[in-house]
Amino acid sequence: MTNQQNVVVLDVISRGVSNVLPRSSLPVPKSFSPQDLKMLLMKRFEAENGGAKISAWVDSMRASSPTRIKSSTTASLPETDDTSSWIVHHPSALSMFEQIVAASKGKQIVMFLDYDGTLSPIVEDPDQAFMPKEVNSFLFPIHVYHQPIKLLLIPFFVSNQMRATVRDVARYFPTAIVTGRCRDKVYSFVKLAGLYYAGSHGMDIKGPSKSCKYKKGNQGVLFQAASEFLPMIDEVYKDLVEKTKSIPGTKVENNKFCVSVHFRCVDEKSWAALAEQVRSVLNHYPKLKLTQGRKVLEIRPTIKWDKGRALEFLLESLGYANSTNVLPVYIGDDRSDEDAFKVLRERGQGLGILVSKLPKETNASYSLQEPSEVKEFLKRLVDWKKMSQRAAKCA
């Protein structure tokens, strides 16, 4: 290396890298080879972009998921105006129920259901995200001498109407749970054998474990998109547990083909530190990428597979690849569900329903506010199907 080149390199160091990294952290070789130069420039690039990346991550963590709609035209209007204009474009699937069933005339509805935030309300502890139970009770009259009759509310039995509803839905329509969760974990929550399960954001798909009237022979694992990543994901999971253990409230969840780092219970002041730890782990794994959900960072293989591809795969497995006689209905609440909404929009087929109380950027056409409305919508669909079958028998 010539003296002149040395000067250029030192100039790069003094103007650039030293602004980002403390001078002491830079190994400055006595003489520079082209490799040294490359390394220094790369370090500068990483340091600059790393810093930018972390603050972008934190901004995105703040915005939570999916991004709240930013409307330039309505920015100065009160919240209610924003909401009402959004609802015009994403009407409630309950109020549009008649139109929805009319669109399904002559078509087979195939139901795709996300789990967290769709079938179960969002809770702080991901291990406690059960489908809600209802306590059924009755009024028991008690009559004490000379006293007016009193009515006592007696809890009678506990039922899980969401589970019962999803079971009914699966009786009438092929039904799949499509989730970021590990497949076994979501099965332990849903506990229904007659469904398809697409776990790890659709990277792990299994057919119904009991015979399914729609497609015989679909039992067992149908597809695993990223088997070769299993050892890597295990390693990353352990690294993340270790690196984040000093940040109170962090929870790392092993979802088999992906890992979730939850920050719902982490103090906002520690989000940057958490993002930094996650980035430091991810830096060693160029074949993994980071996506984001509701107060969760998700680490996944960089393969072209997502909930949208899983939806297409399942339609194909059910024999509806290029069929016009099918109406896929996908209900979900999170960013990862947007991949499926987008597929439906691009196919010009089917309905995407976003579960959200707030206006959000979405490719879905309809909305429902919360899991209880999802249950209501699914119940109405089952009742409508039962009635139309009865009517067909009588005709």
Ligand X SMILES: O=P(O)(O)OC[C@H]1O[C@H](O[C@H]2O[C@H](CO)[C@@H](O)[C@H](O)[C@H]2O)[C@H](O)[C@@H](O)[C@@H]1O
Under the criterion CB under 6 A, does residue 294 sit at the interface with ligand X?
A: yes
Pair of tokens at residue 37 = 């130069």
> 114 phi and psi, to 5 degrees?
-70, 165
Under the criterion CB under 6 A, does residue 179 sit at the interface with ligand X?
A: yes
Q: How far is the CB of 306 from ligand X (least distance, A)?
A: 11
CA atoms lying within 13 Å on the CB side of residue 322:
0
Residue of 347, 307, 348 whose CA lies nearest to 331: 307
Residue of 75, 68, 169, 59 whose CA lies nearest to 113: 169
Crossing angle for the helix pair 161-172 and 371-394, to the nearest 10 degrees: 40
Q: x/- contact string, 209-248, with ligand X (CB under 6 A)? A: ----------------------------------------
29 or 126: whose CB is closer to ligand X?
126
Q: Binding residue for ligand X (CB under 6 A) from 16, 29, 50, 126?
A: 126
Q: How far is the CB of 253 from ligand X (least distance, A)?
A: 5
Under the criterion CB under 6 A, does residue 124 sit at the interface with ligand X?
A: yes
Under the criterion CB under 6 A, does residue 298 sit at the interface with ligand X?
A: yes
Measured CA distances, 171 to 166, 329, 374 (Å): 9, 16, 17
Q: How far is the CB of 197 from ligand X (least distance, A)?
A: 11
Under the criterion CB under 6 A, does residue 262 sit at the interface with ligand X?
A: yes
293 or 350: whose CB is closer to ligand X?
293
Under the criterion CB under 6 A, does residue 293 sit at the interface with ligand X?
A: yes
**CB 129 within 8 Å of CB 123:** yes
Q: How far is the CB of 8 from ligand X (least distance, A)?
A: 48
Under the criterion CB under 6 A, does residue 58 sit at the interface with ligand X?
A: no
- Only one of the segments 108-116, 157-165, 233-241, 268-276 lies at the binding site for ligand X (rule: CB under 6 A); that segment is 108-116
How far is Cα 111 from Cα 379, in angstroms, rounded to an integer? Answer: 13
Give the contacts of 232 (CB within 8 A, at least 6 positions apart). 285, 287, 288, 301
Under the criterion CB under 6 A, does residue 339 sit at the interface with ligand X?
A: no
